[in-house]
Amino acid sequence: MYNKINFEKILINSNPPTEEPDRQYYFMAKCRERIKDFEQKNSRLPKACVVNMGCQMNARDSEKLAGILKEIGYLMTEEEQADVVIYNTCTVRENANLKVYGRLGYLNGFKKKNPDMKIALCGCMMQEPEVVEKIKKSYRFVDLIFGTHNIYKFPELLYTSLQSERMVIDIWKDTDKIVEDLPCDRKYSFKSGVNIMFGCNNFCSYCIVPYVRGRERSRNPEDILAEIRRLVADGVVEIMLLGQNVNSYGKNLEQPMSFAELLRNIEQIEGLERIRFMTSHPKDLSDELIQVIKHSSKICRHLHLPLQSGSSRILKQMNRRYDKEQYLALADRIRREIPDIAITTDIIVGFPGETEEDFLETMDVVQKVRYESAFTFIYSKRTGTPAAVMEDQVPEDVVKNRFDRLLKEVQSIAAEKAAKLEGSVQEILVEEINAQDASLVTGRLSNNSVVHVKGNPAMIGTLKKVRLAQCKGFYYIGEDIKEEDNEE
């Protein structure tokens, strides 16, 4: 468990320790000396900004980077005009990638005004050798590049960069190491992501994640439970367990443990109110898990179950290892056992070789499962994946047409489903003040839908019962219910 580091005790003039995380604590202490120099020279503390560009997994990594920077003594800011800026990148689709290059030019403008500024790039995109080559060649002003496997080494890398004018690059191909006990600066005081596993072994043929995140590794259950207990003691009421395929959690542990069993243990933690997880691969979703969700009072009524395609032929090409019938049967079982659960999904349109018939199979699954919500993606070719060299890439106009039809269907079903809850009384976790109207707060239902209701900042992080007075398609306007109802 992470305890505050006692920097007074670290001997910064001796050799660095070889053990982790002590070695990183040592470099944090060294960086702190540099901050003192900075403060003397500039009569202010340096500012740092971490920009998250990826999924929840990346968001959690960004919190770790921010935690380290804060501990070193940086003032955290959301403005990119800072003394250290880190882009934590994503590369799951091409457009995520292009965004980074565009924004780097803009960052360079700041650096020209502040030559001591450090620009760092990390995350999934940096695990691709071509990307690093391109940055080395065309973006010479970048100071530090590191990857997903050595993120825990950030203090050491930052220190190296602060000591040098050269571009520092440290990328590892893979790792079997999990370093615990580093600081973390949470974005929300009342909810937090918790990694339960890293990497992915599934190699879906379109997906780059296994190449940039490495092989699947599960954290020890004791470490996970200790982290959650500590978070709860620190005011967290909702956790999101994170992994690319949480349903295969624990299979490779010395003492194997199923995901369902892990959930049962987490459920016991007193003070924890809500448990979410992401992502569930349909091929590994067990009946044991369905039962655990069904009988739990803390696991939220929301299951994200990526479909990707409804065509068994395409699913085979995608290496998803389930077919249309198996997916439908699974969705049926879940809906039967847990009738109030929201099922959401991810769908890719335009996978190589996808015909109109294949696409109609996807539409058919959408109509049968009736998702509460779905993320729809246009297939993006990722160099190095098997699908990138498949024949019959689908023409852009055909993909666009299918994408529009799918989106329309998904949205109309989602609105119909949302309307069903109109008028009912539900519990929300209040998350923030509404960005448009400060007299409103925004909260989330157990099924992940968003509700806006009259409120004030004191309500943030608390659970509250509201009546879903009006359904607005994707969200609700809630209204207060009588106090006594709130206390049941």
Q: Compute the least distance from the CB of residue 216 to ligand SF4, in Å.
A: 9
Choose the stretch contacting ligand SAH; rule: CB under 6 A; options: 180-188, 232-240, 377-385, 416-424: 377-385
End-to-end CA distance of the chain: 36
- Taking each continuous run of H as one helix and of E as one strand, the counts in the chain are 14, 19
Which residues make up the interface to ligand F3S (CB under 6 A)? 54-55, 57-58, 90-92, 124, 209, 212-213
Taking CB under 6 A as the criterion, the residue among 218, 362, 373, 380 binding ligand SAH is: 380
Q: Compute the least distance from the CB of residue 385 to ligand SF4, in Å.
A: 9
Question: What is the pattern of x (binds ligand SAH, CB under 6 A) and - over residues 270-289?
Answer: ---------x-x--------
Choose the stretch contacting ligand SF4; rule: CB under 6 A; options: 184-192, 203-211, 411-419, 459-467: 203-211
| Phi, psi dihedral angles at 23 (to 5 degrees) | -60, -40
Q: How many residues does the chain have?
A: 488
Taking CB under 6 A as the criterion, the residue among 10, 100, 162, 207 binding ligand SF4 is: 207
Choose the stretch contacting ligand SAH; rule: CB under 6 A; options: 76-84, 287-295, 373-381, 389-397: 373-381
Q: Residue 200 interacts with ligand SF4 (CB under 6 A)?
A: yes
Residue 106 host element (H or E): helix 94-113
Residue with tokens 């119909």: 416
| Phi, psi dihedral angles at 450 (to 5 degrees) | -95, 140
Residue 377's binding partner among ligand SF4, ligand F3S, ligand SAH, none (Cβ under 5 to 8 angstroms by kind) is ligand SAH
Choose the stretch contacting ligand SF4; rule: CB under 6 A; options: 189-197, 201-209, 285-293, 367-375: 201-209
Q: Compute the least distance from the CB of residue 124 to ligand F3S, in Å.
A: 3
Q: Residue 264 interacts with ligand SAH (CB under 6 A)?
A: no
The set of residues, in sequence order, having a beta carbon less than 8 Å from that of 452 and lying 6+ positions away, is 434, 437, 440, 441, 442, 475, 476, 477, 478
Q: Residue 210 interacts with ligand SF4 (CB under 6 A)?
A: yes
Q: Compute the least distance from the CB of residue 127 to ligand F3S, in Å.
A: 9
CA distance 191 to 189: 6
Choose the stretch contacting ligand SAH; rule: CB under 6 A; options: 2-10, 35-43, 374-382, 472-480: 374-382
Q: Residue 374 interacts with ligand SAH (CB under 6 A)?
A: no
DSSP string, 11-73: -TTSPPPSSTTHHHHHHHHHHHHHHHHHHHHHSS--EEEEEE-S-HHHHHHHHHHHHHHHHHT
Cβ nearer to ligand F3S, comparing 182 with 209: 209
- Tokens matching residue 60: 């959690």
Q: Is the Cβ–Cβ distance between 454 and 430 less than 8 Å?
A: no
DSSP string, 422-485: TT-EEEEEEEEE-SS-TTEEEEEETTS-EEEEE--GGGTT-EEEEEEEEE-SSEEEEEE--HHH
Choose the stretch contacting ligand SAH; rule: CB under 6 A; options: 204-212, 248-256, 294-302, 445-453: 204-212
Cβ nearer to ligand F3S, comparing 74 with 277: 277
- Tokens matching residue 76: 């955290």
Q: What Cα–Cα distance (Å) separates residue 105 from each residue in 87, 177, 279, 318?
A: 13, 35, 34, 36
Residue 317's binding partner among ligand F3S, ligand SAH, ligand SF4, none (Cβ under 5 to 8 angstroms by kind) is none
Q: Is the Cβ–Cβ distance between 39 and 83 less than 8 Å?
A: no
Q: Residue 207 interacts with ligand SAH (CB under 6 A)?
A: yes
CA distance 83 to 63: 18
Half-sphere exposure of 62 (CA within 13 A, CB side): 25
Cβ nearer to ligand SAH, comparing 302 with 382: 382
Residue of minimal Cβ distance to ligand F3S: 54
Taking CB under 6 A as the criterion, the residue among 89, 127, 205, 244 binding ligand SAH is: 244
Cis previous bond, 21, omega within 30: yes
Q: Residue 212 interacts with ligand SF4 (CB under 6 A)?
A: no
Burial class (CB in 10 A: 0-12, 13-18, 19+), 197: buried
Q: Residue 382 interacts with ligand SF4 (CB under 6 A)?
A: no
Cβ nearer to ligand SF4, comparing 124 with 421: 124
Q: Residue 217 interacts with ligand SAH (CB under 6 A)?
A: no
Of 356, 478, 458, 376, the closest CA to residue 418 belongs to: 478
Taking CB under 6 A as the criterion, the residue among 26, 38, 198, 206 binding ligand SAH is: 206
Q: Is the Cβ–Cβ distance between 242 and 56 less than 8 Å?
A: yes
Q: Which residues bind ligand SF4 (CB under 6 A)?
A: 200, 202-204, 207, 209-210, 244-245, 281
Chain positions contacting ligand SAH, by CB under 6 A: 92-93, 206-207, 209, 244-245, 279, 281, 306, 308, 346, 348, 377, 379-380, 382
